[in-house]
Structure 1
Amino acid sequence: MKNSSSMPDTRAAPDYHRCLPVEFHSQADAFIRYLHELPNKSPVECPACGHPRFRLEASQNLRLPFYRCAACNKGFNCLSKTTFSGYGLIYLWSAYGQYLLAGWPMSAIAKSMGISPSTTWRWIKPCRAVMAKEFPALYHWWSARQDRTNLEPPAHIAAQAQAFLIGLEQLLTTQQAVCSKCDSPHMQRIDARRPDFRCAACWSTVSLLHGTLLSRLGHPEHWLGFAQGLINGESVVDQQRRTGLCGPSCRRWQIRFTRMLEQQGYADLIQWITWLRSRRVKEVSDFVRNGGQLEAVAGSRYSVDSNRRFAVPPKNSRKGVSV
């Protein structure tokens, strides 16, 4: 086993509390501590025959202490016949658990920890087994989001999402503005979809979107729905089906709305979105594997010949899932 001097610095590991409800913070800490202490735990019985008597054998170049059963004479270590038996890089397990609870995509975990993507995919199975056995309440909540069977966020993230959506709705529906030239409050809204106003005193026109990330962004009737889809972790193709826009437009919208979240300080919500979006690929794969069919999306229904080329986006095939 590697000594502490060769262990990587895990202080940069993500704050896994961000995406978890407050009531699960202590269980999450216990889960990380369990992974950290697991390789150093002393066995209480032989995993082969269950005999409580065994002896420690002095062996060279072994990553873990090796024991010999006094009854069946079989050798074992503390991980024998456990979910982590045969897995390497044991000094990284607790750090991996932090990334897992924080909802990081597997490719991002591999890059941050300096391990192969295949390793991150292999480790998730024993981690899930340990969490399900030792911390069932935490596993029930976390696995529902990891598998996208429940998209409901924890209370503090739900509050951020609601505040963002309400702010966007108020911006789109406001009937009041102040003239930037003469400071007159007597402004008349002149566009039903966008917050554009004309001053009754100096006849200047004012747009509340001027200088914002939403400036010159089209189809405001889709902004609220797009923002909700973003919060649910929908992919670009999902958003194409939701709005009827082309792929490049949906990607541009994702960038704009994410930057708006950053400007408003909703860091926890951004991490939540990253988690749900990273799991969307598996959800689609499972849906197709179970016989579902996805509508092909090739472009925008707002193009000139859209009526001949593109069908109307389908309704949600099951509750909580947009496919």
Structure 2
Amino acid sequence: MQLRNILGIVATGAALGAMSVAPAHADTRTLAGPTTGDSDTFLTYVGCDGVFTAGAAPQSRINLGPYSAPLGRRSLGIVPTGGGSASGPYSSFTSLAGVDASLSVAATAGSQGVSYVVAITSDSPAGTAWAGRAPVTAPAGGWTQVSSASLTYDWSLVDLGSRRQVSAAGSATPADFAAEHGDGAGFVVTGFGCDARPFNLDAVRAGGSTFDFEGLSLTTAISTPAKQVAAGDDVTLTGRVADGSGRVTGDPLVLESRTGNGAWTPVGGPQLAGADGLARVVVPVSETTEFRWHRPQSQYADEGWSDTVTVTVAEPVPSEAPDKK
């Protein structure tokens, strides 16, 4: 899974000035990957030297932790493909003075990053925008919350046509800069990975919404071609794991069985899926038995079970006694 590139989104002052955000939602949105489904808040990557410099797309995956995730049990892991790029959330805003974007970040070896704010205000000349840059750090050992409202940015006036600096404008928080130069619309990007070290993101907050990375919702199904057999016959049990779109994922499964009102017990170890994405086990059945598949917990999904199927062992038909003569 990869993140969305923002280069080219803001090519002119008109495009930046027309930015808006949807009405605020005081909600939590659970995500199964880097795609937010929101045009005003999404995950992206930029260069660490400047917001308009090219960055390299990282790899991403959902995983448990690390440590104790700020929301739920999982977070989004980011693996940079090299140094010099920062990956994290982009969020547009209508008020520089009221920017409230934040995120939580964890890196077992620590991570260096950068935050950018770009805005057009009442005193930025036509064809220009204010661009602020602030270095950010995630120390090793736990989760760190980073809020754009509390960061002090080094500001400059940028020509949007050439994307070159026109002049420096000092250092200030977004609210303090807006108080001096006027309020306006724009966007903020905060990312990590400038040192090429992997890190995790969670609890991304922007525009009144909170994004929680929790992984896939999977379903497991079981089937068998024979639900009534003679004692000792073999039965093939097939398991199928699929995501919400119906795509077969091929997750490993463990077959479980029980007879009567007994406890469920594993039938062998984990079964890997075949080329068709399905797991299969052939077992002999000596008495009527219930079967189900157990899907163990993974980095990207909670554990789960299939429905049960009952394989009935037919009672033998008594043979007729021979006639006595």
Q: Which has the higher strand share?
A: 2
Q: Into which bin does the TM-score normalised by the smaller protein fall?
A: under 0.3
Which structure has the bigger radius of gyration? 2
Q: Relative CO higher for 1 or 2, CA cutoff 8 Å, sep ≥ 6? A: 2
Q: Which has the higher helix share?
A: 1
